[in-house]
């Protein structure tokens, strides 16, 4: 019998984690083969590999311990890949040569699939003098544009979608431009942005004092601290960015406070890291450890939790030795500190099985107890490993035990570390687990609440027929199995019904016993007032969180999920083209309707001719293929490549409007051009504009900049909810939602952060 709880879980495994040969044929016959492959590889560094292979396999079995996807997909394959998820790159020098050296390092890291973070505060502000060349600096945002273009290039070359974090200190002279940068819908699409908030700034906000914007000791301007805070809050209220990172708190709490200074995080924020810092991730599936669920005797098996955490720590420590790294500096950093990020998933489901409502006081306290138990087991396991294999090279007992985090730790744990040292400088983190949560049977993600109890996943086959499958939350399915058709109890709250303060309370409770940080999204209702919204961030600060990320659906960010209690059918959307999802491309009919457009790029001798052919389905036209031609032979290779790639995307169906969005966002570092009174950043952006106008003329799009945002065929889900978020660029399904800081597809697990 299959170990998978749902078809989508098996599909995720097959698509993302199952080892296949160069021809795409499976090497792993079953998921058990995948578990065995990973267990054997991670045990290979042990003195008794056979013994540890069996113990590692037992931890992986039945999805109890979930190494991050990079480990599941890469360990034991023999491929030259990194098993690490998170990187923060080196400090950017304030020089042209140094900046582009850093760009090269970023490209090499992203080429292997690593998500990266950068602090751009080290680059002098726009307008500052550049001595020796009689010029003014263009500022950090101009170089962020270059990074953004690099990331797009790496992504288009065949790697997974790029993910980058950019941070800037709250006292940098260009901070206001940084705050507003992504309000331009075509700019910095590859970045998540976060402001580094310092303790003095927060105090200035509370006291209503002025705030100096400075660089290298020179004050450029003085602003009102509350005004600057309000600008940050207004931007994230309206545009969902930037996020906020309480950087002084991170450095004060850091076990390695004596050996490093942190100024950036990985793309999702759960790993604050020093220059060239790297961290791997893994999660304990709490939902699998609950005994007697939905009964008065329900409890989480403490002994099983302790044993699983100890095994997971050893496995992850071995990954440090088994993994490859894009850069030698990353290898050196990882081996000097042996950081790991062990977290949890399925927390909300585990609470439900105990009859606890997410965000309620008893659930908050239970979360705190579980996270402390995990921290204790992890630190004791690492101390035992240090006794056996040696402490991490930079360990200094006196300094290590002075950290803010270690000051909270129990005396017996501190004593074990003082006596034996510790193998891993930091051990715990709560990372985004969207894809591996689906793989584990659709357990709730990370420490997030259950987002949707069930939804219908629709797939159109090659012949145009539609198949459907219900995807049910793990705890809800367990309730159905045990209770039949009995209605869900009142404590089954979800992300749409929770107050923001409930989210903050849960994040703060978990953060108390997490030595790194937490990737979490605090969902806010669309009608929350601006003052209430600001209070969410102040509460996060007051309760000890290390950062805060919110999501408020609105006309700009898009509605992630709307709840309908009475409607029996989705409302009709006023647009002309049905959305079609395909698992395989359609065969080309003998004849197609289409139009050809002439594009004359300023300064180019030859025009480009763009032909868009459409297919008619359900009485509506939708784009099926593109041909791009020019007499300019310099354009030949990329126009052929673009023709093939766009046509391949169009033939798979779904919401292909993202092709337009991606093309229009491409900028040419040599400069764009003015066309019809509008600045177009590149010739590719101009081609995107032509395709968009064609889509509008055929009724596929309603108007310029208006992609397909809803599926008029979406059925109401069994519990009265239906996905209404944007379409997934990977599988075409609707219902993309903000989870742990990333727009994530509930159908296939696709995320812009990986």
- pLDDT above 90 (res 299): yes
Q: Tell me: pLDDT of 434 over 90.
A: no
Give the model's pLDDT for residue 556. 66
Ordered alpha helix ranges (H), 127-194 = 140-156, 175-180
What does the pLDDT read at residue 496? Answer: 76
Contact call for residues 710 and 724 (beta carbons, < 8 A):
yes
pLDDT tens readout for residues 528-579: 999 999 999 999 999 999 999 999 987 666 543 333 333 223 333 333 333 4
pLDDT at 730: 57
Distance CA 730, CA 43 (A): 35
**What is the pLDDT, as a whole number, of residue 566?**
30
pLDDT band of residue 701 (cuts 50, 70, 90) is confident
Residues 692-717 have a mean pLDDT of 60
pTM for this one? 0.78
Question: Confidence band (pLDDT; 50, 70, 90) for 733?
Answer: low
Helix 302-322 to helix 49-60 angle (10° resolution) is 120
- For residues 453-474, give the mean pLDDT: 72
**Cα 174-179-182 angle, rounded to 5 deg:** 115
Q: Is the peptide bond before 566 cis (omega within 30 degrees of 0)?
A: no
Average pLDDT over residues 703-726: 42
Distance CA 215, CA 276 (A): 23
CATH level 3 topology of 7-83+262-420:
Anaerobic Ribonucleotide-triphosphate Reductase Large Chain (3.20.70)
CB-based contacts of 22, cutoff 8 Å, min separation 6: none
Question: What confidence score (pLDDT) does residue 194 get?
Answer: 97
pLDDT at residue number 630? 84
Q: Of 358, 356, 417, which is closest to residue 382 (Cα–Cα)?
A: 417
Q: Which of 585-594, 595-604, 673-682 ranks highest by mean pLDDT?
A: 595-604
**pLDDT > 90 in the chain, percent:** 62
Question: Smallest Cα–Cα separation from 582: which of 634, 655, 645?
Answer: 655
Helices (H), 574-669: 636-650, 657-664
Q: In the prediction, which pLDDT does 746 show? A: 66
Give the distance, in angstroms, between the CA of residue 504 and the centroid of all CA atoms in the same chain: 19
Q: How many angstroms separate the Cα of 677 from the Cα of each of 555, 640, 673, 674, 680? A: 27, 29, 10, 6, 9
Q: Is the dihedral of CA 56, 57, 58, 63 positive or negative?
A: positive
189 falls in which pLDDT band (50, 70, 90)? confident
Higher pLDDT, 717 or 403: 403
| pLDDT for residue 660 | 87
Q: How far apart are CA 541 and CA 535, in angstroms?
A: 10
Over range 432-455, report the average pLDDT: 91
Q: Is the pLDDT of residue 309 over 50?
A: yes
Residue 585's pLDDT is 57
479 pLDDT band (50/70/90 cuts)?
very high
Q: How many Cβ atoms are within 10 Å of 300's Cβ, its own excluded?
A: 21
Q: Where are the extended beta strands (E) located within 422-495?
A: 454-460, 466-472
* Rg value, the chain, Cα: 26
How sure is the predictor about 513, in pLDDT bands with cuts at 50, 70 and 90? very high
Pairing relationship of beta strands 290-291 and 299-300 according to DSSP bridges: antiparallel
Residue 157 confidence (pLDDT) = 42
Mean pLDDT of the chain: 86
Mean pLDDT in residue range 117-139 = 90
Active site residues: 266, 268, 270
Domain ranges of the chain: 7-83+262-420, 593-697
Report the pLDDT value the prediction gives residue 587, as an integer from 0 to 100. 65
Q: pLDDT at position 615, please?
A: 86
At residue 307 the predicted structure's pLDDT band, cuts being 50, 70 and 90, is very high
Q: Is the pLDDT confidence value at 723 over 90?
A: no
Give the integer Cα–Cα distance in Å for 474 and 706: 36
Residue 285 bridge partners (DSSP): 345
User: Percent of the chain at pLDDT above 70?
Assistant: 85
The pLDDT of residue 734: 57
Q: Is 146 helix (H, G, I), strand (E, B) or coil?
A: helix
Kindly tell me if the per-residue pLDDT of 724 is higher than 80. Answer: no
Go through 656-694 and write b for each residue having 16 or more CB atoms within 10 A of its CB, e for each that does not.
bbbbbbbbbbbbeeeebbeeeeeebbbbbbbbbbbbbbb
């Amino acid at each position: 019998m299959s170990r998978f709880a749902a078809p989508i879980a098996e599909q995720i495994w097959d698509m993302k984690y199952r080892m296949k040969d160069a021809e795409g044929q499976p090497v792993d016959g079953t998921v058990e083969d995948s578990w065995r492959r990973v267990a054997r590889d991670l045990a290979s560094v042990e003195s008794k590999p056979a013994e540890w292979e069996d113990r590692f396999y037992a931890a992986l079995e039945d999805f109890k311990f979930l190494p991050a996807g990079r480990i599941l997909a890469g360990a034991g394959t023999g491929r030259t890949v990194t098993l690490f998820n998170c990187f923060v790159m080196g400090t950017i020098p304030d020089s042209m040569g140094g900046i582009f050296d850093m760009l090269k390092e970023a490209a090499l890291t992203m080429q292997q699939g690593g998500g990266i973070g950068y602090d751009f505060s080290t680059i002098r502000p726009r307008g500052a003098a550049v001595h020796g060349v009689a010029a003014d600096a263009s500022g950090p945002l101009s170089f962020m544009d270059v990074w953004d273009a690099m990331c797009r290039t790496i992504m288009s070359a065949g790697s997974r979608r790029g993910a980058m974090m950019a941070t800037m200190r709250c006292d940098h002279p260009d901070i206001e431009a940084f705050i507003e940068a992504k309000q331009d819908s075509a700019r910095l699409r590859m970045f998540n942005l976060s402001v580094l908030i310092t303790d003095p700034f927060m105090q200035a906000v509370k006291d209503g004092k002025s705030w100096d914007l400075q660089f290298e000791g020179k004050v450029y301007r003085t602003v009102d601290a509350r005004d600057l805070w309000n600008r940050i809050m207004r931007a994230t209220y309206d545009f969902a960015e930037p996020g906020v990172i309480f950087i002084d708190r991170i450095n004060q709490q850091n076990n390695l406070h004596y050996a490093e200074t942190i100024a950036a995080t990985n793309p999702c924020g759960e790993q604050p890291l020093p220059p060239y810092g790297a961290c791997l991730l893994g999660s304990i599936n709490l939902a699998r450890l609950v005994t007697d669920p939905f009964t008065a005797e329900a409890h989480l098996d403490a002994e099983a939790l302790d044993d699983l955490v100890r095994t997971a720590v050893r496995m992850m420590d071995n990954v440090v030795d088994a993994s490859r790294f894009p850069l030698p500096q990353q290898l050196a950093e990882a081996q000097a500190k042996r950081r790991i990020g062990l977290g949890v998933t399925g927390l909300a489901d585990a609470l439900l099985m105990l009859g606890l409502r997410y965000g309620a006081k008893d659930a908050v306290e239970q979360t705190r107890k579980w996270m402390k138990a995990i921290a204790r087991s992890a630190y004791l396991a690492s101390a035992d490993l240090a006794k056996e294999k040696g402490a991490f090279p930079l360990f200094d007992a006196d300094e290590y035990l002075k950290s803010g985090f270690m000051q909270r730790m129990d005396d017996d744990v501190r004593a074990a570390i003082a006596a034996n040292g510790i193998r891993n400088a930091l051990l715990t983190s709560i990372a985004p687990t969207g894809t591996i949560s689906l793989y584990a049977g659709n357990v709730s993600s990370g420490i997030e609440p259950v987002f949707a109890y069930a939804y219908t996943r629709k797939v159109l086959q090659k012949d145009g027929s539609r198949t459907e499958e219900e995807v049910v939350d793990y705890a809800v399915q367990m309730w159905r199995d045990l209770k039949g058709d009995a209605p869900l109890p009142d404590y089954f709250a979800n992300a749409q019904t929770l107050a923001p303060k409930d989210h903050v309370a849960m994040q703060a409770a978990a953060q108390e016993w997490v030595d790194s940080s937490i990737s979490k999204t605090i969902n806010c209702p669309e009608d929350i007032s601006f003052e209430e919204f600001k209070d969410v961030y102040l509460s996060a600060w007051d309760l000890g969180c290390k950062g805060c990320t919110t999501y408020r659906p609105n006309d700009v960010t898009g509605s992630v999920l709307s709840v309908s209690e009475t409607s029996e059918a989705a409302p009709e959307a006023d647009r002309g083209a049905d959305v079609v999802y395909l698992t395989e491309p359609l065969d080309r009919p003998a004849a197609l309707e289409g139009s050809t457009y002439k594009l004359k790029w300023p300064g180019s001798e030859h025009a480009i001719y763009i032909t868009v052919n459409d297919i008619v389905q359900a009485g509506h036209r939708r784009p099926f293929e593109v041909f791009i031609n020019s007499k300019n032979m310099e354009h030949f290779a990329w126009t052929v490549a673009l023709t093939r790639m766009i046509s391949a995307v169009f033939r798979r169906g779904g919401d292909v409007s993202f092709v337009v969005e991606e093309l229009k966002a491409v900028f040419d570092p040599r400069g764009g051009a003015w066309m019809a009174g509008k600045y177009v950043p590149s010739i590719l952006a101009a081609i995107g504009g032509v395709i968009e106008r064609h889509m509008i003329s055929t009724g596929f799009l309603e108007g310029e900049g208006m992609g397909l945002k809803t599926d008029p065929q979406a059925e109401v889900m069994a519990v009265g909810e239906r996905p209404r978020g944007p379409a997934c660029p990977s599988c075409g399904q609707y219902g993309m939602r903000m989870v742990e800081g990333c727009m994530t597809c509930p159908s296939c697990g696709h995320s812009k952060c990986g």
